[in-house]
Amino acid sequence: MKLLMLPGDGIGPEISDASRKVLDAAQAQFGFPLEYEEDEIGFSSLERYGTTIRDDLIATAMAVDGVILGPVSHNEYPPIEEGGLNPSGVFRKQLDLYANIRPAKSRSGIATPTGRPMDLVIVRENTEGFYADRTMVTGTGEFMPTEDLAMAIRKVTKKGSRRIVEQAFALAARRRQKVTTVHKANVLRVSDGLFLEQARAVASSHPSIEYEEELVDAMAAHLIRSPDRFDVIVTTNMFGDILSDEASELSGGLGLAASLNAGTDYAVAQAQHGSAPDIAGKGIANPVSLILSVAMLLDWLGARRADERLNHAARIIEQAVDATLEDPSARTPDLGGNGSTDKFAAETARRVTDLRP
């Protein structure tokens, strides 16, 4: 198994190194084959190659078994015509990573804003919607007919809607057997109406899984009031982007929030948070999000290959992270501790080794 490591910008190299230490411990414990290929992306790639993501890097990503992508500072990049592409968006489009899977789970010893327990997953459509880089073959989905008028096109297709809902039901079958579709079809009657139509069609073919629907504005409130009601939530791109950030903050913060971008053939593990350049190089970056994202990648690969070693390793990594989070001396400062990135990684790797396969 070969993984492509792309450390990225800001704290990316630090948390990528931490994730690799934990992954190496899991490999040693469970005995699955593992090798890495590392390359540049983001500002370092821009400086060397004139672009934040090279075309040949996409080919490399297609040739390996999975990608570990560190955070990128895409908001700080120059215009696209000067090489400032968003690597995350390029991967999602070029590899057809249509599912952005984002768990939101409260962790022992970590305070949450509401004090309510959470264990849910938001399955977000990743290739359509209002996102300008994913709506058109040529150009973007935003335009200005006049200098005082800006417009945006939203793309929703039957195929895109159906396959993301199928992904949600497949995930629910492995969890607590419940899917909630989030929409705004009472206003966006055509586009969200199409999405909702496909969700209902998929639900009808999975009678053993509980199904419900919520309006997006009501859902934002329900996540605060009663998050324990929900198991798997599926929705369109922009709604999922917003709700997953809300859910992650309610479960303890983006620093604890894993994320996997997955398609039929490829998957990219990526932390939910940004590159945090203000703390880069200080050794205090919280690596949990990327470590848990790597665990999700292992689980995805295990399911594809029917390799229980990878699925078991994913579970052990999550258990090891939880155990390390219970130790205040190992937590990074953002989590109220006085530990470092390296210490958290070392303690988590040790626990992966100590936990029985």
In terms of DSSP H, where are the helices of the chain?
12-30, 43-49, 55-63, 87-94, 158-173, 191-204, 216-225, 237-250, 288-305, 308-325, 341-354
For position 357, what pLDDT does the model report? 63
Is residue 343 among the annotated active site residues? no
User: Is the CB of residue 154 less than 8 Å from the CB of residue 131?
Assistant: no
Per-residue pLDDT tens over the stretch 35-55:
999 999 999 999 999 999 999
Per-residue pLDDT tens over the stretch 104-155:
999 988 988 888 889 999 999 999 988 766 677 777 788 899 999 999 999 9
Sign of CA dihedral 192, 193, 194, 197: positive
Is residue 245 among the annotated active site residues? yes
Is residue 241 among the annotated active site residues? yes
CA dihedral 309, 15, 275, 125 (to 10 degrees): 10
Catalytic residue among 9, 105, 184, 231: 184
**pTM exceeding 0.75:** yes
Catalytic residue among 131, 231, 322, 343: 131
> In the chain, what are the domains?
1-98+257-357 (3.40.718.10), 112-251 (3.40.718.10)
**Least confident range of 59-73, 134-148, 254-268:** 134-148
What's the N-to-C CA distance of the chain in angstroms? 20
Catalytic residue among 56, 159, 217, 265: 217
Catalytic residue among 241, 266, 299, 343: 241
Is residue 307 among the annotated active site residues? no
Average pLDDT of the segment spanning 206-230? 97
Catalytic residue among 65, 245, 327, 334: 245
Is residue 155 among the annotated active site residues? no
Residue 271 CB-density burial (10 A; 0-12 exposed, 13-18 middle, 19+ buried)? buried
